[in-house]
């Protein structure tokens, strides 16, 4: 029924167009109207057929969501789901699908998303127009429904002031002359990752940063907050009491951060922190329970202690991301037990679209920058065979692996399209961890992956630590040079390469 109504409407509009224009435009618009009529249809199944020809996995869901609102009324400032204005409608549709906000006005959506040539347009792209109210600025937005490559005509679904949610054509005179451009809301995910975090300790003596730690993450937080997902390694516990499991001497190296510091992690932008490391049990069960309580209160996910939380799942842009962490200590989920690793990664790969693995392993110290072949032993402990482990995780469905533990950085590799950082070193360890020379390097790595978890590109943001301060931008970019050199030397077979400016690109 809608099909015939729409056809009728089209004919009516074509007539209006022809009548309402000067000679030069008549010719052009008649041409448009003719081609438009051929594919002028609003039937949902027909739409699906058209859309099915384009290469985009999520578009059918997006169209289902958008079309489910056809006929709903327009209201100024309407954010849905009962009434909408134009940007309220596009925001609502993408929020249902991605869980993220694409922008509060049409001009904001236009400014925020990637410009696309009209000839490269796809269903699901945003199309922008001026409106009588906005003058020459962007004032109206819709979502492309289908597109004719030969004519570059398209149809779009939008909230129109007079008719509510409807499908219109780019060839309508009203929209044709107001068309501004196309933008694409990408379905890639950005993941920011860092190494060890221990914000300060009250044990064995008070070693806490100024201003109650409020400045620790000031350089890092814009990057962490901006990423779709931000992860790190929590090297220590958030706890105010408890008893050290590592003795009380000056070299006991038990880390206890006040519970009042927990909100700093949230404000910094972290979504997930691995607990599988050699400091998570510094204050026994009380320390672990307190840490988990603090992180839960902040809405930060965690995992890695054996017999407790085995893995975590978070949703971003409509994708389920599974996270897990492995360490080398008896109380952690152990990466030397390949069966355990395989089982946990398998389960996450089954349940989720993307799997991210945190690994605490490898020998420690300034002489341990190179990634060896085979397994590593440190202080009499088996610290894992990290190459083998990382590749094993990829074979089992892991998409991103971020390592830490050596307290220095190591190489980066892309293996079978998946990103591996073998060690990110220290990140925010203002006290009780050496920050001399390369130990002070604190990279923040941000990568883009596609919706299947394949590595697309990355950027190393060089930072450096000073005692008591936390990570700060390092204009010299020393850590980039080091990661580049280590990657060139230790994983020459990597599918990606580190550039001198910190970009990570496929070869
Ligand atoms: Zn450690």
Ligand 1 centre and the CA of 123: distance in Å?
48
| Maximum Cα interatomic distance, the chain, rounded to a whole number of Å | 92
| Average model confidence (pLDDT) across the chain | 89
Question: Token pair of 315, please?
Answer: 């949703």
CB contact set of 445 (below 8 Å; sequence gap of 6+): 192, 193, 194, 402, 412, 421, 424, 458, 459, 460, 461, 504
Question: Token pair of 474, please?
Answer: 């390092």
Q: What is the pLDDT of residue 13?
A: 52
| Cα–Cα–Cα angle for 56, 59, 61, rounded to 5 degrees | 135
Closest listed residue to residue 176, CA positions, set 162, 149, 156: 156
Ligand 1 centre and the CA of 360: distance in Å?
7
pLDDT digits (tens, 9 = 90+) for 25-70: 222 222 222 233 223 334 444 444 444 344 444 577 889 999 999 9
DSSP H or E segment with residue 26: helix 23-38
Residue 219, SS3 per DSSP: coil
Is residue 292 within 8 Å of 302, Cβ to Cβ? yes
Ligand 1 centre and the CA of 407: distance in Å?
7
pLDDT digits (tens, 9 = 90+) for 326-378: 999 999 999 999 999 999 999 999 999 999 999 999 999 999 999 999 999 99
Q: What is the pLDDT of residue 294?
A: 98
- Mean pLDDT across the stretch 459-479? 97
Question: Token pair of 139, please?
Answer: 């004032």
Please give the share of the chain, as a percent, with pLDDT higher than 90. 79
Ligand 1 centre and the CA of 359: distance in Å?
10
Ligand 1 centre and the CA of 447: distance in Å?
24
Ligand 1 centre and the CA of 102: distance in Å?
38
Residue 130, SS3 per DSSP: strand
CB contact set of 350 (below 8 Å; sequence gap of 6+): 397
Ligand 1 centre and the CA of 485: distance in Å?
24
DSSP H or E segment with residue 414: strand 412-415
Q: Which three-class secondary structure string do you get for 155-214?
A: EEEEEECCCEEEEEECCCHHHHCCEEEEEECCCCEEEEEEEEECCCECCCCCECCHHHHC
pLDDT digits (tens, 9 = 90+) for 172-215: 999 999 999 999 988 789 999 999 999 999 998 999 999 999 99
Q: Inform me whether the pLDDT recorded for 503 exceeds 80.
A: yes
Is residue 6 within 8 Å of 42, Cβ to Cβ? yes
Q: Inform me whether the pLDDT recorded for 17 exceeds 80.
A: no
Q: What is the pLDDT of residue 29?
A: 26
Q: What is the pLDDT of residue 101?
A: 79
Q: Is the pTM of this model over 0.85?
A: no
Ligand 1 centre and the CA of 368: distance in Å?
13
> Distance between CA atoms of 288 and 273, rounded to whole angstroms?
13
Residue 118, SS3 per DSSP: helix
What letter would DSSP give residue 70?
A: T
CATH number of the structural domain 189-506: 3.60.21.10
Alpha helices, DSSP H, located in 77-134? 86-98, 106-112
Ligand 1 centre and the CA of 90: distance in Å?
46
Extents of the domains making up the chain: 2-184, 189-506
CATH architecture of 2-184: Alpha-Beta Complex (3.90)
Ligand 1 centre and the CA of 207: distance in Å?
18
Q: What is the pLDDT of residue 41?
A: 36
Ligand 1 centre and the CA of 434: distance in Å?
12
Ligand 1 centre and the CA of 463: distance in Å?
20
Ligand 1 centre and the CA of 409: distance in Å?
13
Q: What is the pLDDT of residue 37?
A: 29
pLDDT digits (tens, 9 = 90+) for 251-305: 678 999 999 999 999 999 999 999 999 999 999 999 999 999 999 999 999 999 9
Residue 2, SS3 per DSSP: helix
Alpha helices, DSSP H, located in 220-261? 221-226
pLDDT digits (tens, 9 = 90+) for 82-105: 999 999 999 999 998 877 778 999
The neighbourhood of ligand 1, an ion, using CB within 5 A, equals 277-278
Ligand 1 centre and the CA of 486: distance in Å?
21
Ligand 1 centre and the CA of 410: distance in Å?
15
Ligand 1 centre and the CA of 332: distance in Å?
12
Distances (CA, A) of 59 to 31, 34, 36, 55, 147: 29, 27, 22, 9, 13
Q: What is the pLDDT of residue 3?
A: 53
> Distance between CA atoms of 124 and 113, rounded to whole angstroms?
13
Ligand 1 centre and the CA of 122: distance in Å?
47
Residue 288 backbone zone (phi > 0: left; psi -120 to 50: alpha; other: beta): alpha
> Distance between CA atoms of 24 and 205, rounded to whole angstroms?
83
> Confidence class of residue 4 from pLDDT cuts 50, 70 and 90?
low
Question: Token pair of 133, please?
Answer: 């109210």
Higher pLDDT: 497 or 188? It is 497
Higher pLDDT: 22 or 17? It is 17
For 393, how many CA atoms within 13 A lie in the half-sphere containing its CB?
A: 36
């Amino acid at each position: 029924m809608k099909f015939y109504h729409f056809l009728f409407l089209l004919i009516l509009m074509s007539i209006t167009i022809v009548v309402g224009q000067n000679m030069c435009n008549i010719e052009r618009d008649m041409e448009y109207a003719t081609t438009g009529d051929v594919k002028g249809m609003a039937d949902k199944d027909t739409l699906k057929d058209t859309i099915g020809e384009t290469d985009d996995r999520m578009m059918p869901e997006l169209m289902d969501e958008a079309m489910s609102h056809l006929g709903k009324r327009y209201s100024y400032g309407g954010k849905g789901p009962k009434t909408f204005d134009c940007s309220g409608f596009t925001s609502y549709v993408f929020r249902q699908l991605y869980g993220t906000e694409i922008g509060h006005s049409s001009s904001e959506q236009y400014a925020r998303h990637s410009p696309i040539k009209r000839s490269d347009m796809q269903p699901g792209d945003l199309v922008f127009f001026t409106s009588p109210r906005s003058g020459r600025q962007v004032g109206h937005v819709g979502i492309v429904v289908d597109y004719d490559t030969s004519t570059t005509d398209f149809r779009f679904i939008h909230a129109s002031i007079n008719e509510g949610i409807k499908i219109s054509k780019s060839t309508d005179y009203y929209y044709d002359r107001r068309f501004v451009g196309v933008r694409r809301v990408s379905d890639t995910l950005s993941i920011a990752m860092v190494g060890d975090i221990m914000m300060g300790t009250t044990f064995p003596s008070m070693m806490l940063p100024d201003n109650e730690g409020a400045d620790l993450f000031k350089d890092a937080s814009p990057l962490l907050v901006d990423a779709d997902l931000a992860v790190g390694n929590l090297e220590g516990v958030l706890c105010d009491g408890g008893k050290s499991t590592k003795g009380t001497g000056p070299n006991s190296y038990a880390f206890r951060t006040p519970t009042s510091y927990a909100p700093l992690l949230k404000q910094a932008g972290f979504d997930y922190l691995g607990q599988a490391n050699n400091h998570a049990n510094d204050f026994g069960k009380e320390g672990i329970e307190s840490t988990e309580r603090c992180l839960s209160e902040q809405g930060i996910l965690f995992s890695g202690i054996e017999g407790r939380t085995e893995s975590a799942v978070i949703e971003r842009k409509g994708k389920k991301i599974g996270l897990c962490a492995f360490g080398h200590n008896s109380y952690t989920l152990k990466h030397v037990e390949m069966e355990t690793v395989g089982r946990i990664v398998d389960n996450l790969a089954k349940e989720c679209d993307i799997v991210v693995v945190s690994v605490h392993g490898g020998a420690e110290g300034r002489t341990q920058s190179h990634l060896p072949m085979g397994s590593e032993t440190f202080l009499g402990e088996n610290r894992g065979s990290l190459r083998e482990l990382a590749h094993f995780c990829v074979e089992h469905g892991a998409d991103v692996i971020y390592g830490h533990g050596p307290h220095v950085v190591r190489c980066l590799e892309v293996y079978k399209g998946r990103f591996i950082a073998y060690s990110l070193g220290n990140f925010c360890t203002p006290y009780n961890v050496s920050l001399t020379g390369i130990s002070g390097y604190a990279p923040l790595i941000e990568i883009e992956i596609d919706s299947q978890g394949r590595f697309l590109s990355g950027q190393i943001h060089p930072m450096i630590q000073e005692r008591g301060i936390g990570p700060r931008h390092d204009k010299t970019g020393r850590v980039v040079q080091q990661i580049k050199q280590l990657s060139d030397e230790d994983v020459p077979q990597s599918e990606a390469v580190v550039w001198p400016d910190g970009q990570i690109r496929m070869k």
